[in-house]
Amino acid sequence: MGLTKNSTGNGILDSNLEEIVDENKTVIGLIGNPNVGKSSIFNGLTGMHQHTGNWPGKTIESSFGVYEYKNNKYVLVDLPGTYSLESYSTEEEVSKEFIQSEKYDGIVVILDATSLERNLNLALQVIQTTKKVVICVNLLDEAKKKGISVNLEKLSDLLKVPVVGTIATKKKTLENLKKEISQIDAIDEKSNGKMTQEEIVKKAENIASQVVKKESSKFEKDRKLDKIMTSKKFGIPIMIALLGIIFWITIVGANYPSQFLSWLFGIGKDKLGELFIFLNVPQFLNDLLINGVYQTVTWIISVMLPPMAIFFPLFTLLEDLGVLPRIAFNLDNFFRKAGTCGKQALTMCMGFGCNAAGVIGCRIMRSTRERLIAIVTNCFVPCNGRFPFLITIAMIFFAGSVGGFSGSLISTLVVLAVIILGIYLSLLISKILSKTLLKGESEGFILELPPYRKPQIGSIIVRSIFDRTLFVLGRAVCVAIPAGFIIWILANVQISGESMLSYIAYFFDPLGKMMGLDGYIVTAFIFGIPANEIVLPIILMMYLNAGQLISMEDVNQIGQILIQNGWTMITAINVMIFTLLHFPCMTTLMTIKKETGSTKWTLLSFAIPTICGIILCTCINFVYTLVRLI
């Protein structure tokens, strides 16, 4: 059976993915709640024979894979994780459309053995829609650790469809699943009739009570831990402490690989210069390509890559452990009062690694209104590109001469205070948006608190390094290439003995002085739009009247240059605030445009944090000036 266009002309799959489907392949849909191990099952069955794309007209990413079993080929369609087919969210709408299209040969429903009752709601909805179903009860190993056993034979009798138990990491259990899928055509298609949602819930509860047995002592461990992790007293302090630990590890750990990359790229710069001399490249072009483009791109890589390579795996580790959903649970009340929901906390956390990744993560929001609020406010938390600048300023003006562990601890606490300010402002702006441009109340959401699990290191490396770090870095480099060209031109083309970059700084100096900054700082932020990592190098370049980005590893030397150019404690405070509150980088803006399809919301995402930063810095500078006069 092939996968074809539906009656309205909209493809169930996009055109490039339909090419992998033909009349000789069996199409199987893979569906399940989030966090049931569906991706692991999909990867285990299809291996490297996978394709990805977006559902037609939607920003939900889909995966498609092919595998063979007994000389037959199967196309596996990995449907978005969903709790229901009631179409409350985009993910549920996509899954419902696919199930109702009947453009498949069968459906495999993945259930979590540790949370069978909740998962059965979706299974029963699918079964009443089509009988070509195989139930896959996954995570049996996790269930065993928690003292939970599932009677698979009895479950099959009650559901009247085949049931297979799997452990995604064990190939033998996947072979059993393949066997049942190969026999899916033999399933009796007689329907049990339609049930209302209330009946489904009651039936799921009844079935689970008959097939699931729990050893209370093991099962209660998660509940006891959740009493601490999600408590009003300890939940948020633990969350802040975890974030603080991650940032501290990122701060300390990123220094050495950054220095190594900087040294390595320095050697590459010298070798490239020798090559250009050998090729008789004109001096102007030599300087433009090496001191402009090469210097900018390699600076971004050396400063941006190490923190991301540390932060994203740590973030993914929290995800695998089951901590992130609990962070959302702890913050749900705050976000609900702001007119949105706790899922925004997850997208906000992703923004710490990269705001572009956080914007993409906003796809999990149920409504368009809540998704737009999350997108607009995502850059109110600093991404890894802003951390090096924040840390450097904190070390110079707050840690002072304190070095070693104490210095890094002070810097971490200062940066953590900036982050907390960003979270507060994110809630405040969300509230304002929900009462003005995006009126409405939170629709609520289903939040799964998955069991605490042992993390899969291999999966963490793949997801964090390849799916996040390299993806974001690639976009940043693409933007940095033309930026390096423009910055070098402006820094080296002179009019009456002054560079064009200096004239731009003079123009913005009144605005900078009003904010407690100066024109050079404002100009650096403007030309740092390709990537936040180059803001400090541009500031140093202009202060030293150099013709290229300045790379310095010595914090004390950087501090001396800043102080010599008029920086005080109030300058440092306002710079840190404007680092937190200014327009997103070009990569994030491009992502916002792609995700929203709207120039209006892209411009608002640019304007709102920038206006907030200008107002807050101006107010702080005004109060500081007034106190000094008094």
Domain boundaries, the chain: 15-214, 235-450+457-629
Residue 114 clears pLDDT 70, i.e. is over it: yes
**pLDDT of the residue at 129:** 87
Nearest to 372 by CA among 429, 421, 446: 429
**pLDDT of the residue at 386:** 86
**pLDDT of the residue at 536:** 86
Residue 52 clears pLDDT 60, i.e. is over it: no
**pLDDT of the residue at 236:** 85
Tell me what the mean pLDDT of segment 448-454 comes to: 70
Structural tokens at position 475: 């976009």
Residues 269-302: tens digit of each pLDDT: 899 999 999 999 898 888 888 888 888 788 777 7
Percent of the chain predicted with pLDDT > 70: 86
In three-state secondary structure terms, 139 is: coil
> Of the ranges 134-148, 224-238, 574-588, which one carries the lowest mean pLDDT score?
224-238
pLDDT band at 12 (very low <50, low <70, confident <90, very high): very low
Residues 547-573: tens digit of each pLDDT: 777 766 677 888 899 999 999 999 999
* 215 vs 454: CA distance, rounded Å: 20
> Of the ranges 27-41, 250-264, 448-462, which one carries the lowest mean pLDDT score?
448-462
Instruction: Look up the pTM and report it.
Output: 0.70
CA angle 540, 414, 564 (to 5 degrees): 30
- 84 versus 161: the higher-pLDDT residue is 161
Structural tokens at position 259: 């220095």
Residues 85-94: tens digit of each pLDDT: 876 666 677 8
**pLDDT of the residue at 358:** 87
Contacts of 36 (CB under 8 A, 6+ apart): 81, 110, 111, 112, 119, 138, 139
CATH architecture of the domain 15-214 equals 3-Layer(aba) Sandwich (3.40)
Of the chain, the end-to-end C-alpha distance in Å amounts to: 83
Percent of the chain predicted with pLDDT > 90: 30
**Rounded (10°) angle between helices 519-527 and 470-492:** 130
* 39 vs 243: CA distance, rounded Å: 27
**pLDDT of the residue at 13:** 47
DSSP label at residue 74: E
